[in-house]
Chains A and B, each alone.
Chain A
């Protein structure tokens, strides 16, 4: 009957993020001198996917009511590792990709184990592991350098059939292979339940710990996909501290823009992707309107603030003031 109303209510954060992005991107392309061409889309996609992957990683953890301040560093670490391993013959390259992804998974699993079984607060645990991951990245690449299998890199950053950006196709494939199965599995359900109300989840006999562990591990894996793509774009590995931190912070911004609640239990990785793309489009908008790029951080801040305020309206409805602090 009125199923769509309930669907709308359930996914309104994600839909809002998609809406925000579509509007921003439409404004951008309609003011772009070249208009909506394959080139413009490809450039935008390639700029957007890096943050999209890291934001997906962040979203998985945030859904469980945690936070991962090491995603940016996992991203940098896997970039450095890829610049050593994703080279040579197709076989060697494949092996390299698998190792890089496995290392990402391991980084996430370590975070998960510390938070869930060590019972440390996610914020502290991941600051520490983030520093460790960056330390390892620095050992791997004290100076920028290395390389990547350029055939693979060009294929994954180019276009399919002349107009579809390959990076977007990869993003879609990752969503289909990682997010869709996870979100429809018992563990995905349990991850949401744990983020929404851990007590109720426990009382319902839901596998909270395994679900959270999976969320953290997959988060590491997605950050590693991001790290691979960084290598494909730059052809090199660099242990860039500022870049790692920026990606961590931007991923949180993207997740919030994407309608994922920092209190957990609400939102989706899809929303986070569009949050990331929207966040990246802010810079493009400034470009087409001829603003000084110096305005970019200020504008990003304003957009984020407005988006977050939209989510805070529910507080006006609270009838017991103690719920403000709950």
Chain B
């Protein structure tokens, strides 16, 4: 066995690793080398392939090709358990804690201490306490149930759990996003100590100042490819942004419209807040406008749309429609005539459609009151409306009575949109509507959105694809940490500005200028 020199040799290495989901390339021929005793940051915008990369290392998904070397030996992990056994611990963004078990149970879940084959609870408790102490979270009681803890405490438990495994590689995926500032500094102290002890850390974060403080090395990914690896601090923020920009194809977008400057806003939000996920959000939108929601995934965009649509309870702030305050207490209230909202949800398969039911039934669901004047569905009216929608959106279906699940993804998405157009909504909320559908259908959707806006609808459009925001939107609100950090307007909506504000980098005056110079 070759003894690797732990200080210098890259003791974990990925070579030419690729992964596709269906036809979509998540990561392509990625290389990565991690040194023991260092913190390696991974940077990239939405869809750059960061999460796939981590999932491969953590044994959650298997790569299609390429190899991984640990200590110079080739390894492959069939499950998260196998990666664990090899000394890889991962702190996931979506928490991997079991809510009904205690903190100590969770921390020691992979390999609890045993005596005579049974779990030794006293030893477990001591070990859990030690792990919490090590993570700087000694305030958490080891017997508390995880589900009773607030999010920031759970995240600390997650970190303690990873440390209790005594890993050789620790992966932190946005591990600090739920933490309080005091926790963050504690965690940083812990991470720096671990680095000194010779652990290799992979640090994924969108917070540039954290990376500047922690990282020894940075790797940038773009479109599933590894772009560059450089020593931390050797590149300016602007150079980093430059590396993250750049998509391969450009969609064809319809020309943008013009909004009558004197038009009154149809929807106004004032200081909206909800738990710790939304803070102080104020904006308004006029008929004919397409307003984008930007920022990295998970900054409150989805919650904002749900809040407007009446799904969240305990909201603070005010929503006004046509200048009058309204209380939207359910989706049924949101779609009612006085308000006229529609929400195209994120996941069409679970939130948008009843897959086994027919195209006809799915199209009618949001507008049953329109086609059933006395509680009985009038097939004549229904047929007419459905025919109109199928034509308007050119939904490709043999006939409206086949199950909607039999259609292609793009056509399914058209059904979700058409279902709401049956009501003639005035305010249309879209939650990443083009995710996972083909380019042709995407273009049809862009054109449709612009046409609806021209006809007087107000459109709020969340997209993880910055190209779409640039091509479709009159304005873009960039969310960061549950609040609107930046508003970009017209020509100011550029790749560079979107990424800089998504990362909350103060790229300053240079940003709009470079857009104008182009």
Chain A residues with a Cβ under 8 A of chain B: 2-3, 6-7, 9-10, 181, 184-186, 189, 192-193, 195-197, 199-207, 261, 265-266, 318-322
Contact = CB atoms under 8 A, between A and B. Distances in A.
Contact of A10 (B79, B102, B112): B102
B311 A196 contact: no
B228 to A, nearest CB: 31
A193 B148 CA distance: 16
Interface in B307-328: 310-314
Contacts of B313: 318-321
Interface in B173-220: none
Contacts of B85: 205
In the A-B complex, list the 6 residue pairs whose CB atoms are closest, starting with the nearest: A205-B81, A6-B143, A265-B100, A196-B100, A203-B96, A184-B118
B312 A192 contact: no
Contacts of B112: 186, 189
Contacts of A192: 98, 100-101
B314 A319 contact: yes
Contacts of A3: 143
B99 A320 contact: no
Contact of B312 (A2, A9, A321): A321
A193 B143 contact: no
Contacts, number: 100
A181 B313 CA distance: 43
Interface in B50-84: 60, 79-84
A189 B109 contact: yes
B166 interface: no
Contacts of B60: 203
A204 B80 contact: yes
A197 B98 contact: yes
A189 B118 CA distance: 10
A62 to B, nearest CB: 13
Given A185-B117, A196-B99, A200-B97, 16 more contacts: A6-B102, A9-B148, A184-B121, A185-B118, A186-B112, A189-B119, A193-B101, A200-B96, A202-B80, A203-B92, A204-B109, A205-B82, A205-B110, A206-B110, A319-B275, A319-B314
B332 to A, nearest CB: 11
Contacts of A319: 274-275, 312-314
Nearest to A263: B100
B28 interface: no
Interface of B: 60, 79-85, 92, 95-102, 105, 109-110, 112, 114, 117-119, 121, 141, 143-145, 148, 161, 274-275, 306, 310-314, 330
Contact of B98 (A2, A193, A318): A193
B99 A189 contact: no
10 contacts: A184-B121, A189-B109, A200-B95, A201-B109, A204-B80, A204-B98, A205-B110, A206-B109, A266-B100, A320-B311
B290 to A, nearest CB: 26
Among B100, B114, B306, B313, chain A packs the most CB atoms within 10 A around the CB of: B100
Contact of B99 (A184, A197, A205): A197
Contacts of A197: 97-100
Contacts of B143: 3, 6-7, 10
Nearest to A194: B98
A261 to B, nearest CB: 8
A189 B120 CA distance: 12
Nearest to A195: B100
A185 B124 CA distance: 13
Nearest to B312: A320
A195 B100 CA distance: 9
A280 to B, nearest CB: 28
**Among A181, A203, A265: residue with most chain B CB under 10 A:** A203
Nearest to B114: A186
A207 B97 CA distance: 15
B266 to A, nearest CB: 24
Among A195, A205, A319, A321: residue with most chain B CB under 10 A: A205
Contacts of B117: 181, 185
A214 to B, nearest CB: 13
Nearest to B115: A184
A321 B145 CA distance: 23
Contacts of B118: 181, 184-185
A200 B84 contact: no
A193 B147 CA distance: 13
Nearest to A184: B118
B77 to A, nearest CB: 10
Contacts of B330: 321
Contacts of A205: 79-85, 110
A6 B141 contact: yes
A269 B161 CA distance: 28
Contacts of A195: 100
A74 to B, nearest CB: 27
A265 B98 CA distance: 9
Nearest to A265: B100
A186 B161 CA distance: 16
A190 to B, nearest CB: 8
B109 A320 contact: no
B157 to A, nearest CB: 12
A197 B92 CA distance: 15
Contacts of A318: 313
B119 A186 contact: yes
A201 B112 CA distance: 14
Contact of A189 (B105, B312, B314): B105
Contacts of A185: 117-119
B300 to A, nearest CB: 13
A223 B414 CA distance: 52
Contacts of A265: 98-101
Contacts of B96: 199-200, 203-204
B101 A196 contact: yes
A200 B80 contact: no
B166 to A, nearest CB: 14
A7 B79 CA distance: 33
Contacts of B97: 197, 200
